Amino acid sequence: MNSDIIVILVLVIAAILLLLLFLKLVLPVLNRKKSDAELLKRAEKSAAGKNSGKNSGKNTSENNGSQTCPICKSVLQKGENLSTQVFKTGHTDELCHIRGCPHCWPGTHPDVKRTCPTCGRVVPESGYLVARIFHHQDKSDHVHVIGCLQCHKQSNN
C-alpha cells in the first residue's frame, strides 16, 4: 500500500513539473507568435486606414506611401512639404492652418485645383484649411482637417 502511494505521488509531482516546464518554455513562444501576428495585423490596419478616408486621393500602390496635399491632392515628392502654421497650445491637440504644397501654394500651377476636402468649394490662394493636430506618445501624430474657412465658419454658427 505504501509503495502505491509513493508511485502516485511521484507521478503527480512529475505531472506538475511537466506542466511547469510547458508553461515556462512553450507558452512564451506561442505568445510571441501571437503578438507578432497582432503587430502585423495592426500595421496592415494602419496602412489601410491612412488611405481609406474621404481625403485620400490616391492609394498606396500609386503613391508608394508618399503623402498627398489635402488641398490639391498632388503627391508630395521626397523633400516637398506642406506649408502650415501650427498654433502651440501645450495640450495634446493643437490648431493648424494648412496653406498648401509647392504645387498649389504660393502660386498655383495651371493644372492644379485647390478644393476643400470637406465641402468641395474652391479654396482661394489666400485661403487655407483649418485642422487639428493630435499628438500621441506611442504613435505618430494625427491630423484632422476640419475644413476651409467657409465650411469651418458655418460649422461654428
Tens-place pLDDT, residues 45-75:
544 444 444 344 433 334 456 788 999 988 8
| Sign (positive or negative) of CA dihedral 47, 48, 49, 52 | positive
Residue 56, burial from CB neighbour count under 10 angstroms (0-12, 13-18, 19+): middle
Q: How many angstroms separate the CA atoms of 73 and 78, rounded?
A: 16
CB 59 within 8 A of CB 68: no
Same-domain check for residues 38 and 114: no
Identity at 121, one-letter amino acid code: R
Query: Is the pTM here over 0.85, yes or no?
Result: no
* Inside any domain, residue 19: yes
| Domain housing 141 | 62-156
Q: What percent of the chain has pLDDT over 90?
A: 16
Residue 103: CB atoms within 10 A of its CB come to 20
Same-domain check for residues 4 and 24: yes
pLDDT at 109: 72
